[in-house]
Structures are given as structure tokens and as C-alpha cells.
Amino acid sequence: MTLTIAYIGLGGNLDNTLELLCSARKAIGAVPGVREIAFSSYYRSTPMGNINQPDFINAVMAVETSLTPHDLLKALQQIEHSHGRVRNGQRWGPRTLDLDLLTYGVEAFADEYLTVPHAGLSEREFVLYPMAEIAPPNMTIPGIGVLRDLVAACPKRGLESINHG
């Protein structure tokens, strides 16, 4: 069985976001064929696009998985749904939980269901900074670049690490 390291972005801005993110973290780690290997600090970020909504709280989780990227995505979407996520087609709108498959090993691919690495990853401070906290600094994001260089080129735009106690 081949094991792959994948990075998953967690975020949300509705209801009790920290509680939902903690619950989602446990749910991801409980998926058969998935094992948590690292989890970042939580970060508060301002919303993209529609700014008339609460700030987001984000984190990044590293997992070791035997699942295919599509099976992992399906599991993440089931966790979103079980945590009250409603997909209404609104881009960058408020949500209880958003789980994104950011990277999957050293693979880069895209089809109608999934793009890996995640589109926009290189410009999103709320993904890059938490990811850099738990990933090797010389990690290369397939087709995009070295993580530490991406972080250095991405302004924080008000991103702040928050304590969760």
C-alpha cells in the first residue's frame, strides 16, 4: 500500500468556528486510510471577495493517506456536509466549514472535479503561512514553487495567529 502526504486547508466563519474546526480535524483523522501527522496554529483572516461577512479562521493539516486524491476529496466533502456546509454556488461566501485538498504528494493534475495543487494556493496567505508552519521549508509545491519562496512573496494582509485554548 502506497502512503502519500497530503495537506488539507480547514476554514470557516459561521457558527462556533473553532469548535467546528476541532471537530473536523478529528473527523479527518478518523477517516479510514488517513492519519494526521501535523496540524498548524489557527489563524484569523479577512474574507476574500465579499467582505461583508465575519472574519475566517483557518488552519492546515498534514496527513498520511492511502486514499486516492478523489477518495480523499469525497471524504472531505462528506465531513463538510456533516458539519452543516451548504454549497450554494456562492464563491467566497460565508460557510460553516471549508475543507480543501491543497497538495497530494508530488502530484500536479486537474480534472473536472479536482485540481491539485489547489488553485490559488500561491496567493493565499491563510493557506501558505499555516502550511509553512508544519511543512518542510524546502517543500516544493508541484508546478508552483518552493514553499518558503511562496511565503516570502505573499503579504500577510492582516493574517494573525490566534491561540486556541
Cα dist. 94→89, 99, 100 in Å?
Answer: 11, 13, 15
Active site residue 85: yes
Find where cell 494582509 sits: 157
Active site residue 44: no
- Among candidate residues 95, 148, 149, 157, the one labeled active-site is 95
- Among candidate residues 100, 111, 124, 149, the one labeled active-site is 100
The angle at the Cα of 109, spanning 104 to 114, to the nearest 5 degrees, equals 75
- Among candidate residues 44, 98, 124, 149, the one labeled active-site is 98
Active site residue 98: yes
- Among candidate residues 25, 35, 71, 85, the one labeled active-site is 85
Active site residue 149: no
CA–CA distance, 37 with 9 (Å, rounded to integer): 14
| Active site amino acids | 85, 95, 98, 100
